[in-house]
């Protein structure tokens, strides 16, 4: 019997996680927790889900949670997991954190990029970075898991085959990324309200985005690469989806026979990565846990163009969190995630 809990179940990521977990055959029961709505029936806030969950939201009370849960998902803003997760260390409850609190190994990086106090160093040491496709062995052993950020998921999956082949070290790397508006969570702000997003396209957090150190940290782990990356995010007037376009300078003598074969071989055993014959669009993965990608060399410039797309709420958050839970609990990796993309 596996009992799962979701803190932050009233937010975009939390609702998506509930949607997926409610259809997961190895999860026997689910508790939903709220910091602001404890005691309210979930269906009063999410009437579209009333047939699936008739209970009330529970308060975040760690002692009771430890008694009832096997796995706890934190789909909460930055700064919550930092304080909550230490209370579960050694309790036997597996914690999967979807926020950025446990991803950066160096506390000073978190303080600099998130502008908040970091988690305790000992917690950061214990947390395993959960890019499911590339870190399976460590994820299997993890009690505390840092689920990757949405942009880093698309970017790192697009770059992993190059890093693995030693083709990324000391290369110029430019990442141009776009996200749908659900990436910003459910609380509206000046930038995300309808009048400022409809028929509009904006760049944001230039050279300041909190996912820059996460991407650099992982590239360094893979290939020793210490060069800074250029990463520029944009807000697109659509609800879901991320497209990351990466430009990498490659010298001609380093070419493999076929870039596509390099990618296909690397992802041969990864059920959620599809190396495609053509450049993908965000709707190709909409509502699914797939990451689709394509790579082409421009012979004139000696530059590779890699395009990688995900649904930010699924592979970029809740889907990957379930994929990681499957690995941690010894379930089939694809359990609960065999979803077709929505069409159209
Ligand atoms: N949206 C996305 O595409 C992605 C989001 N993430 C990360 O996942 C996390 C959740 O994001 P998202 O769902 O979009 O955000 P939302 O703002 O939509 O939801 C966050 C939820 O967190 C809960 N919450 C707020 N404050 C607290 C608190 N102090 N303690 C406990 N719970 C709190 C709220 O629920 P309640 O008031 O009921 O407690 C709220 O519904 C964030 O860290 C985000 O960065 C990661 C990848 C992708
Ligand atoms: C569109 C949009 O605003 N996206 C958010 C993604 C935030 C996020 O997921 O933050 P963590 O991964 O750090 O938790 C952003 O760019 O900040």
Give the range among 3-12, 125-134, 146-155, 167-176 with minimum mean pLDDT. Answer: 167-176
Q: Which CATH architecture has domain 3-126?
A: 3-Layer(aba) Sandwich (3.40)
Residue 24: is its pLDDT beyond 80?
A: yes
| 291 given a catalytic annotation | no
Q: What is the pLDDT of residues 139-151, one digit of tens each?
A: 999 999 999 999 9
Q: Which of 80, 104, 150, 304 is catalytic?
A: 150
Bridge partners (DSSP) of residue 230 are 174
Q: What is the pLDDT of residues 64-86, one digit of tens each?
A: 999 999 999 999 999 999 999 99
Mean predicted lDDT score pLDDT of the chain: 96
Ligand 2 atom 15: the closest Cα is on which residue? 184
Q: Looking at residue 241, what is its pLDDT?
A: 98
Q: Looking at residue 257, what is its pLDDT?
A: 82
Reading the block at residue 64, the tokens are 């009771």
Bridge partners (DSSP) of residue 80 are none
- What is the C-alpha to C-alpha distance for residues 306 and 247, in angstroms, rounded to an integer? 7
- Å from CA of 302 to ligand 1 middle: 42
- What is the C-alpha to C-alpha distance for residues 40 and 63, in angstroms, rounded to an integer? 21
Spans of all domains in the chain:
3-126, 151-312
- Å from CA of 9 to ligand 1 middle: 8
* Phi/psi at 22 (5° precision): -65, -20
- Å from CA of 119 to ligand 2 middle: 19
Q: What is the pLDDT of residues 286-323, one digit of tens each?
A: 999 999 999 999 989 999 999 999 999 999 999 999 99
Q: Looking at residue 117, what is its pLDDT?
A: 98
> pTM for the complete prediction?
0.98
Q: Tell me the pLDDT band of 255, cut-offs 50, 70 and 90.
A: confident
Q: Looking at residue 170, what is its pLDDT?
A: 80
Q: What is the pLDDT of residues 159-196, one digit of tens each?
A: 999 999 988 988 889 999 999 999 999 999 999 999 99
What mean pLDDT is predicted for residues 276-288?
A: 98
Q: How many Cα neighbours within 13 Å face the side chain of 144?
A: 21
Provide ipTM, 2 decimals. Answer: 0.99
Q: Looking at residue 171, what is its pLDDT?
A: 81
- Å from CA of 186 to ligand 1 middle: 8
Q: Which CATH number fits domain 151-312: 3.40.1210.10, 3.40.50.300, 3.30.360.10, 3.30.1330.30?
A: 3.30.360.10
Mutation probe of ligand 1 site: the residue of 13, 14, 53, 240 with most atoms within 8 A of C-beta? 13
Pocket of ligand 2 (CB under 6 A): 78, 99-100, 149-150, 179, 183-184, 210, 233, 235
């Amino acid at each position: 019997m596996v009992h799962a809990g979701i803190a932050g179940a009233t937010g975009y990521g939390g609702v998506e996680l509930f949607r997926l977990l409610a259809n997961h055959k190895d999860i026997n029961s689910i508790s939903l927790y709220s910091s602001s709505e404890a005691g309210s029936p979930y269906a009063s806030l999410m009437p579209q889900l009333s047939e699936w969950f008739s209970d009330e939201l529970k308060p975040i009370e760690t002692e009771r949670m430890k008694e009832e849960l096997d796995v706890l998902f934190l789909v909460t803003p930055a700064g919550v997991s930092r304080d909550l997760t230490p209370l579960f260390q050694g309790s036997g409850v597996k914690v999967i954190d979807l926020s950025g609190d446990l991803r950066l190994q160096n506390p000073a990086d978190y303080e600099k990029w998130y502008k908040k106090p970091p988690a305790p160093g000992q917690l950061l040491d214990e947390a395993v970075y959960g890019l499911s496709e590339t870190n399976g062995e460590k994820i299997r052993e993890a009690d505390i898991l840092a689920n990757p950020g949405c942009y880093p998921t698309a970017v790192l999956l697009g770059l992993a085959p190059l890093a693995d082949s030693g083709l990324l070290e000391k290369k110029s790397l430019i990442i141009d990324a776009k996200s749908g508006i659900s990436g910003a969570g459910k609380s509206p702000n000046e930038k995300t309200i309808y009048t400022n997003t409809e028929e509009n396209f904006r760049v944001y957090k230039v050279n300041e985005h909190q996912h820059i150190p996460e991407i650099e940290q992982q590239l360094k782990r893979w290939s020793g690469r210490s060069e800074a990356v250029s990463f520029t995010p944009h807000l697109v007037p659509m609800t879901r989806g991320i497209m990351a376009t990466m430009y990498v300078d490659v010298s001609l003598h380093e070419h493999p026979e076929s870039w596509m074969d390099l990618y296909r071989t690397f992802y041969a055993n990864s059920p959620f990565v599809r190396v495609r014959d053509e450049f993908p669009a965000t709707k190709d993965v909409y509502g699914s846990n797939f990451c689709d990608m394509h790579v082409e060399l421009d012979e004139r410039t000696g530059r590779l163009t890699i395009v990688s797309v995900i649904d930010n709420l699924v592979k970029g958050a809740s889907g990957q969190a379930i994929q990681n839970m499957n690995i941690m609990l010894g379930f089939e990796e694809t359990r609960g995630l065999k979803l077709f993309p929505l069409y159209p």
